[in-house]
Amino acid sequence: MHTPTPLSALRHWLEASHLDGIIVPRTDAWQSENCASNDEKLAWLTGFDGSAGVALVLKEKALLFVDGRYQVQARVQVNMDEIEIHHLHNEPLADWLTANVEAGTRIGFDPLLMTNAEFEKLSATPCELVPLNASPFDALWTDRPAAPAGLIREMPVEVSGKSSEDKRQRVAAVLAANNADYLAVTLPDNIAWLLNVRGSDIPTSPVPLSFALLGRDGRVEWFVNDNKLAELPDSVLNAFTIAPQNTFIERCQQLAEGKRVMVDADSAPVALRFAIEPRGEIVWQTDPITLIKATKNPVELAGYRECHHQDGAAWVNFLAWLSREVPLRAAAGQPLTELEVQAQQLAFRKQQPGFIEQSFATISASSSNAAMCHYHSSEASNKPIGHDHFYLNDSGGQYANGTTDATRTLAWGNVPPQQRLHYTAVLRGFLSLITLQFPSGTQGHQLDAFTRRPLWEMGLDYDHGTGHGVGHQLLIHENPHRIAKKVNPWPLVAGNIMTIEPGYYLGDSHGIRIENQVEIVESHPGFCKFASLTLIPIDLSQVELQLLSEQEKRWLDAYHQQVREALSPLVNSDVRTWLEAATAPIGM
């Protein structure tokens, strides 16, 4: 018997539902970058498993919109005979609908999976948006995994730095200032921060999938399934009113009468608008927790610094092992592979005190695989690591007192001259930004071009952001700050944690990225600079040193001295000689 493909099954459902099409986003009801397995609807439908994308399925056509990080990957993973690939930002879904569909075309969508901002954009197109009462995937995805039930743990104030009561009163003051009665909190990392808890629903993302309502009096109603609460002490549970997760929308509908509810248009599901607007008033404002959370308190900052020492030691143990094993295995005709290497790196991390889990799925990418900047190795794609090409490793850890994220691009022989120039340009862009002093309150997009200039001078560029916020034992990509071409209106100030990660990618050839996590610190009154948290040697073997300025060389020497002095007492004794050589001053 012929089994219909997911795409054909969905088209049969469209016909039965009298719809002309359906929008299938990659995300879940919490706008998660990393979703639980039961929310990976886009991957089930198309085969694409990247962290950003949306599909439009029509009766005769299917389109997948992905950003610049995934243009190569999407073309590898999906059936190009069935699905067209478009750019998520350069040719967005709303523009495509405006240009290609007739007025009145009925397009279904799940209001829990679409934000109000997205709804507004799509409402301006000729199509008729039809909110669905039930998801078609409940019936069509017959082997869909169960919803996660990860246990939630307390985040002690000794690590978080502030009590939940202090945080709730601070946010409640924002509600009072805006004459709002409630804040609808839908972002899991904001809930985790506010309540001083951490979850385990999604690997590498220690947040609880739940919802919350914060009143102007500082009281919280927490909508979370009770099968996740067994490890929380009564002192935590008694501080909140607990209700089942699936009653959140109904509760918002009940309490909205005559009330003003603050809702984040960019992250909250539009289902909230549908529930509140007929009865109460919505105060459209970015969730104030997002910005408050981004400026870390002294205890959090100390935790970041400490965990980066542990992570740096793991990296150095790993890099010393790589430098020994790559030549040996290649000479024996049994080269190391991407999967072997990432497994060994995780083993080194597990040796470190305070390590909990990875902070994201490791990118272990050899030669042309690194051209997919968010590539993840599999048995089918697993490449060997040799002498004549680059190997890129982007990885991080969740530690008891912080979160790490770093990338190094490495080579153990001689890569082609053009690739050396590419690597040198990426390094110079990295140095241009990490050495920069800038006025406090500068916005991320105002800094982005500093990293791109060396590549632009060669007529090259990269199609991803230059930096992102990092949570405190929370999400690896934390809002609201970004360093990218796209306007980001949030001021960068002392206490923000960011990454700096320029790159260059040439399809079917190679990929390069250098990334450090940094703390923004005050340098002079009214000015800030970046202080590196990441403590990992930078591979200079493929750099055209004559193209570096004396200032760039001095920074590298000072940075490597910092790495050497900080990590020598922490690394395995048999790798200290390697560390000395890897951090030796330029020219020695």
Residues 444-453 pLDDT 10s: 999 999 999 9
Q: What's the CA gap between 208 and 149, in Å, rounded?
A: 9
Q: What's the CA gap between 71 and 508, in Å, rounded?
A: 13
Q: What's the CA gap between 286 and 187, in Å, rounded?
A: 11
The residues near 415 (Cβ < 8 Å, ≥ 6 apart) are: 388, 389, 390, 423, 510, 542
For residue 72, the model assigns a pLDDT of 83
Distance set, CA 370 to CA 65, 365, 394, 425, 471 (Å): 21, 5, 10, 17, 26
The structure tokens listed for 538 are 């930078």
Strand order in 363-366's β-sheet?
363-366, 391-395, 406-410
Q: Which residues of the chain have pLDDT under 70?
A: 1-3, 588
For residue 373, the model assigns a pLDDT of 85
For residue 3, the model assigns a pLDDT of 67
Number of neighbours of residue 550 by Cβ within 10 angstroms? 7
The structure tokens listed for 209 are 């999938």
For residue 2, the model assigns a pLDDT of 58
**Would the CA dihedral through 190, 196, 199, 205 be positive or negative?**
positive
Site of tokens 């809002």: 479
